[in-house]
Structure 1
Amino acid sequence: MTGASSGTHRPATAVAPGERGAVRIADRVVAKIAAQAAREVLGPLPKDAVPPHATVVVHHGTARVRVHLELDYPSAIGARCAAVRRQVTERVGALVDMEVREVAVHVERLLPAQTPGRA
């Protein structure tokens, strides 16, 4: 008969932090986080607006982000774009611990505000 294992395990050898490997976060994941951050700061979108989307290039742990969005008009376009830049930088940095060097906001379309009596 062969002897059964006594249930003891070998102690795991500690691996130094620098030898454990690395985590790589895909560009598309960072892009989804950036788009969500833009949605958070913009609030409710105009009726026919397409939700914000983003493209990202990550290089050596830093990100360059382009956010494409549609805004209602009239509105403070510059202030809203600045708020999107701040929020994207903050959320990407907090969630994936990545420096955001650039956030370019592209306003694709301005949608007239809905007024009473207009369909």
Structure 2
Amino acid sequence: MPQNFRLNFNGAPAARELRAAAARGLFLGAEHVLGVSNDRVPLDEGFLQNTGIASVDEGDLTAMVSYDGPYAVVQHERLDFRHAPGREAKYLENSLNSERQQVQALIAAQIRRALR
């Protein structure tokens, strides 16, 4: 004999929690990229390194890592500048590219945690 079931699912709280988890994961990923980038950023007196910041726009679910020094773009883009060992141009771009899988894992871990 067939049985009938009624299920009322209120998905809005679950969607909010998953979105918040994704934002937490994005922030952790951005912080990770910032840390790796700080190890590569050209270093003279440490000013540029100290201007690095990670942020997340929770509405758009986008993360940003930036440096605010007046010469941050020049140091990032000029491949002909000489840097101390371990320091490099493209310090932010290279850090993001090398850490892509780690960032994905950080985001996924936060989403998995929210699904428990």
Coarse TM-score class (shorter-chain normalised): 0.3 to 0.5
TM-score, normalised relative to structure 2: 0.42
Tell me which protein shows more helix as a share of its residues: 2
Please identify the structure whose Cα radius of gyration is greater: 1
Instruction: Output the TM-score relative to the length of structure 1.
Output: 0.41
Greater fraction strand: 1
Higher relative CO (Cα under 8 Å, sequence separation at least 6) belongs to 2
